Chains A and B, each alone.
Chain A
Amino acid sequence: MTARIVSLLFDGFAYGMLLFVLSVGLSVTLGLMNFVNLAHGSFAMIGGYVTVMLMRSWGVPFFATLPFAFLAAAVAAVILERVLYRRMYRAGELDQALLTIGIVFISVASAAYLFGTTQQPVELPAYLRGRIVFGDFSFGVYRLFLVCAALLIMVIVVLGLDYTRFGAQIRASVDNQRMARGLGINVDRVFSLTFAIGSGLAGLGGAMAIEVVGLDPNFGLKYLVYMLIVVAVGGLASIRGAFVTAAMLGIIDIFSKYFVPEIGAFVLYAVMIGLLVWRPAGLFARR
């Protein structure tokens, strides 16, 4: 029984970490910049396709593709931010939602046109496949990698926001734009960069997610719900909140599907509703 519980906890935590990597960027853009970016999943998809194409066409090893996945999504984000998003910062939330959901649909159609409608499998190196066995316990190797990567990203983002000069500039720009400008901070540049980093993280998440959840043109739409749950329940702008929520959701999902599979699919949403009723602003809301 212990082995089973440990195994379920591990699987749930690893799944949660995947959700975290996918959503942390959204937590940054939606939470810090107050911009409703429903196209977050599309940036994740860009990362996914970059990894697949690099691996397939040029035989680049999986790990070496990850920086490119980050960069490609970040560059795409900067272009979109400069051209479209910037005009919408002051617009209402509904306008932002409409614009970005439109971008999602465009991304779905473009991906189908460019890469076809099929699943895009990746073939991971042998050392990332299979599982490690310790006596009664066994862990999927790729899931261990997910957990480590997520923890690393979490530490980097939190340290970056709280302890670097750039992090301070982001916080200042968000809290009081006029004051920040007055102090000589180039707010436009800060926002562009923040947006790029948030979307780059999405691209990284997309690349890392293929092995677990696959990749096809609908990626941007399919996982949007999970991303929004993580950010909403965690509390906007809270990286720690997103981390705790993602881990919790992953574990709850796995446990409920294991022990009560008949209603397993609903438990996650029931918990989400309960938590939001209890704390409407999210578990770790700052304001």
Chain B
Amino acid sequence: MHKFVLGLGGLTAIALAAGPAHAQGTVKVGLIMSYSGQFADLGTMMDNAIKLYVKQHGDTVAGKKIEFVRKDSGAAGTAPDVAKRLAQELIVRDKVDFIAGFSLTPDALAAADVLTEAKKPGVIMNAATAIITTRSPYLVRTSISLPQAVGTLGTWAVKNGTKNAFTMVTDYGPGIDSEQEFQLQFKNGGGAINGSVRFPVANPDFSAFAQRLKDSKSESVFVFVPGGEQPAALAKAFAEHGVSPKSMKIMSTGELVNDEALKSMGDAALGMISGWHYDYNLKTPKNPEFVKGMNEMLNGRNPDQFAVTAYDGIHLIYEALKKTGGKTDGDALMAAMKGMAWESPRGPISIDPQTRDIIQTIYLRRVEKIGNRLGNVEFDKVENVKDPVKERMRAEGKLTDNGLAK
């Protein structure tokens, strides 16, 4: 009874606030993310960042109330049909206006056709394979295309006097993307690739690969592994085989040197170099407030890239709605998002109007002691980095005006 009365009161309040002039509306945002399973930690980070954004900016935009419908893609990384089914359900049954999230590449790829057919914008908050955005004119990305970070790193390495490199990546889409981009940029700059290996996706022990790397007698190595338990396992295998930043330049994307991985690696990680778009230590104007907010949400844990890219994804949705005045027509929303630029906790970012992919700063960092703990300290950066894969497609005339693959 109590609840009922309260509810009635609430309804009256809303009705009064909205006034008679325009009907009260809601905008529904479907979230397809991995809340459980192997990639549950991505879900934790992304969901809390979304909640933080709503806490800071309110749940009403352009007179519309924002409502979230959360769907767990769980182990959908191995079963993309789950993500496709969830996307259909969200559109047909829940009548959502946006679908956001997409923790993993297969999820985003599986939903692409559904989005095109339904003309609903899809905001990619993590999935990082380059070609995803070429699969639907309704996909837009606020995370990263891995080659952005990897290509920048490869170019930097060869410019700074590294003559040869070995590459080690996990054998799946983003890993292969990274391998190709690093090798390409490294060779373009005049470097030589000494050899390469691809790890199986499930690989508990890396010692064979560490031994192979050591025997290649390379000057440097580029590594890509997804997060989870692999960064620490790989780093320990390196340490046990005498591969350390002291004997070899170790370069990677941000996953290998994230907070949890650094904790379990210990001082063996000192000196590792990475190219990445975000770190909680970044000295950008908006970062301190974001980190503080996330610390509160996560009981003291620091945010990682998954958090900031989800935060920016929701920002993009809010701003697009402001631009359309609350109109939820898919094409109008897409037009509003294209070319949008803003200051993110990771620095200035924008959405490329043609490819709908993100343009952002890539930071080059080195693992150093900050106080008594390890962290990534920025020592160089490259601004306005576009996805090099799509830039090549554009140059070769393989990209339509709408950023689709020809």
- Give chain A's interface residues, CB within 8 Å of chain B: 4, 7-8, 11-12, 15, 18, 108-109, 112, 116-119, 121-123, 129-131, 138, 140, 142-143, 211-218, 222-223, 226, 250, 253-258, 261-262, 264-265
Contacts and interface: CB of A to CB of B under 8 A. Distances in A.
B76 to A, nearest CB: 15
Contact of B37 (A11, A15, A218, A256): A218
B21 interface: no
List the 4 closest A-B pairs by CB distance, nearest first. Answer: A214-B229, A121-B264, A265-B200, A140-B240
B204 A7 contact: no
Interface of B: 36-38, 40-41, 43-44, 171, 197-198, 200, 202-205, 207-209, 211-212, 215, 228-230, 232-233, 236, 239-242, 260-261, 263-264, 266, 301
| Max chain B C-beta neighbours (<10 A), residue from A122, A215, A257, A265 | A257
Contact of A119 (B43, B207, B228, B236): B228
B203 A265 contact: yes
A94 B232 CA distance: 37
A142 B237 CA distance: 11
Given A11-B208, A117-B40, A254-B207, 16 more contacts: A4-B211, A108-B36, A116-B41, A117-B43, A119-B228, A119-B229, A122-B264, A129-B266, A138-B241, A214-B264, A215-B229, A222-B38, A253-B208, A254-B208, A256-B208, A264-B200
B44 A226 contact: no
A112 B266 CA distance: 25
B332 to A, nearest CB: 37
Nearest to B38: A218
B208 A212 contact: no
B48 to A, nearest CB: 11
Contacts of B212: 258, 261
Q: Is the interface of A mostly helix, strand, loop or mixed?
A: helix
B233 A255 contact: no
B78 to A, nearest CB: 12
Q: Is the interface of B mostly helix, strand, loop or mixed?
A: helix
Given A109-B36, A217-B40, A142 B240 contact: yes
Contacts of B241: 7, 131, 138, 140
B200 A15 contact: no
B53 to A, nearest CB: 20
Contacts of A130: 239-240
A121 B239 contact: no
Contacts of A131: 239-242
Given A4-B215, A112-B40, A261-B198, A255 B208 contact: yes
B203 A118 contact: no
Nearest to B204: A213
Contacts of A112: 36, 40
A149 B50 CA distance: 46
Nearest to B259: A118
Given A15-B207, A131-B240, A121 B43 contact: no
Contacts of A255: 208
B198 A212 contact: no
A236 B332 CA distance: 64
B233 A214 contact: yes
B202 A211 contact: no
Given A116-B44, A222-B202, A8 B211 contact: yes
A7 B211 contact: yes
Nearest to B201: A265
Contacts of B43: 117
Contacts of A117: 40-41, 43-44
Contact of B264 (A4, A8, A116, A119): A119
A20 to B, nearest CB: 14
Contacts of B242: 131, 138
5 contacts: A11-B205, A118-B260, A216-B229, A253-B205, A257-B209
